[in-house]
Amino acid sequence: MKLELNHETDGEEMCRTIEVVGGVHLAFAAADGGEECADDLFMPPLNFAMVDHGIFRSGFPDSNNFSFLQTLGLRSIICLCPEPYPETNVEFLKSNGIKLFQFGIEGYKEPFVNIPEDTIREALKVVLDVKNHPILIHCKRGKHRTGCLVGCLRKLQRWCLSSVFDEYQRFAAAKARVADQRFMEIFDVSSLKHIPIPFSCSNR
């Protein structure tokens, strides 16, 4: 996937391409081939990737990522961590008119995993509301809690379970949890099917 960012410099339009493969950003390039100083580089958050049109995922963003996040034109951020949101991040949200939705889910490790189904369901309602788009979903590392929420979204999009698990494992890698995958497998999406899904909805 490639995201193209356009701006003008001295009357000439430049296009900076961000190439994303499996959530890993490989390159930042200026269209004119000239050298870029460090200030021109955009740094995505850990595990950043596009989920669907207007929906992104990542690990916890910090101040080094703010310039990149501004290019997304975000309206909302979903944070799945229970800790108070850092003041620096709060100021960034305020200055850019971004609304924060915080759904605190403890970052348990197996075998003590407790994923609250009601919390995931409420977070999905926020994701499904296009008035909140573009939206970024994040937890600490962008692997488990974020992976579970995105996996449940994929079930609403009628993805087969093998594809849901493949995507989850691509981000979780060696840290993949059987409990997370079991949660996604048994998560009941029937109560959300009445909500319009105005973006990609295809079998995978």
Identify whether 79 is a catalytic site residue.
no
CA 10 to chain centre: 34
**Cβ contacts of residue 94 below 8 Å, gap of 6+?**
none
* Residue 194, CA atoms < 13 Å, CB-side half-sphere: 1
8 A C-beta contact, residue 110 and residue 183: no
**Cβ contacts of residue 160 below 8 Å, gap of 6+?**
203, 204
Of 15, 81, 139, 160, catalytic:
139
Cα–Cα nearest to 47, from 195, 183, 169: 169
Catalytic residue numbers read 139
